[in-house]
Amino acid sequence: MKDEELKNIVKEKYSEIANQTKKENETSCCGATGCCGDVDYTIFSEKYDNLKGYNPDADLGLGCGLPTEFAQIKEGDTVIDLGSGAGNDCFVARALVGKSGKVIGIDFTDAMIEKARANTKKLGFNNVEFRFGDIEKMPVTANKADVIISNCVLNLVPNKLNVFKEIYRVLKPGGHMSVSDVVLKGQLPEKIKHAAEMYAGCVSGAIQFDEYLKLIKAAGLNNITVQKQKLVNIPDDILSNYLSESEIDNYKNSGVGIYSITVYAEKNIQSCCCDNC
């Protein structure tokens, strides 16, 4: 499918998810694969309960890490969250930037923007805003953000290099990103790939780990560091629907797998002469 067709599928499915609870999302219909079944959108998600600023109403369980935990956010920073959903990571970031900082969430799903703005109003924050827009062409001026975060969103974007180029443009010189995402290591056998997509829809857009890091570098970002990586285990009772016992054992011993990662990268400090510096 063309990029726009894929984006429309993602937008449609995440509009449905926006109107569901976290519990409902644990057995939701999967996204780009176009199937329905026992699909758990929350399989990659981590616990936010102990993080300052956490708001349960904004947590739909759609993340695959805790980017704010590694993002080195300071009081007074301007933070931008790509694919901000109902505002979960934005509200945690707001607790770190304080009243003197600013948090901007960007999402291209109307239902998510509406939900996030309703949560903001309820919390009474005046330094958190949500903007409708495509993260391949952010509605933000150049050199705006001290920190850019994202949580399990870039894997859904067809052209990831465009997003990393936009991250470079929008970061201030000396600014940095901390992005959590899903990647692959090695080539998943087709049966396992299908099982993974049935179990967690967002696997379908994941790319190879090495390729992911190369795209970040190609966009001009430096000091690339993998801050965290975790193997995502597909339960045997799911795999057994597609694989024999020996095939499951071979897969587990192959070194091939699906990983949730958090990656840090910087925009060098330099003199700027234009919007694309």
Contact 85, 118 (CB under 8 A): no
- Grouping H, G, I as helix, E, B as strand and the rest as coil, residue 68 is helix
Q: Is residue 277 a part of any domain in this protein?
A: no
| pLDDT confidence of residue 35 | 36
Q: Is residue 189 a part of any domain in this protein?
A: yes
User: Residue-wise pLDDT tens for the chain (277 aa)?
Assistant: 566 766 666 666 765 666 665 555 554 433 333 333 445 555 666 778 889 999 988 888 778 899 999 999 999 999 999 999 999 999 999 999 999 999 999 999 999 999 999 999 999 999 999 999 999 999 999 999 999 999 989 988 889 999 999 999 999 999 999 999 999 999 887 877 776 765 555 576 789 999 999 999 999 999 999 999 998 887 788 788 888 899 888 888 888 888 999 999 999 987 455 555 5
CATH number at residue 128: 3.40.50.150
Q: Is residue 250 a part of any domain in this protein?
A: yes
> Structurally, how many domains does the chain consist of?
1
Q: Is residue 272 a part of any domain in this protein?
A: no
Please name the amino acid found at residue 241: N
| pLDDT confidence of residue 217 | 98
Please name the amino acid found at residue 200: A
| pLDDT confidence of residue 271 | 46
Q: Is residue 275 a part of any domain in this protein?
A: no
Please name the amino acid found at residue 119: N
- pTM (two decimals): 0.85
Residues 6+ apart with CB under 8 A from 129: 102, 103, 104, 105, 120
DSSP 178-225: EEEEEEEESPPPHHHHHHHHHH-GGGGG-EEHHHHHHHHHHTT-EEEE
Q: Is residue 168 a part of any domain in this protein?
A: yes
Q: Is residue 10 a part of any domain in this protein?
A: yes
| Domain extent for 102 | 3-266
- Burial code (b: 16+ CB inside 10 Å, e: under 16) for 23-36 equals eebbebebbbbeee
Q: Is residue 276 a part of any domain in this protein?
A: no
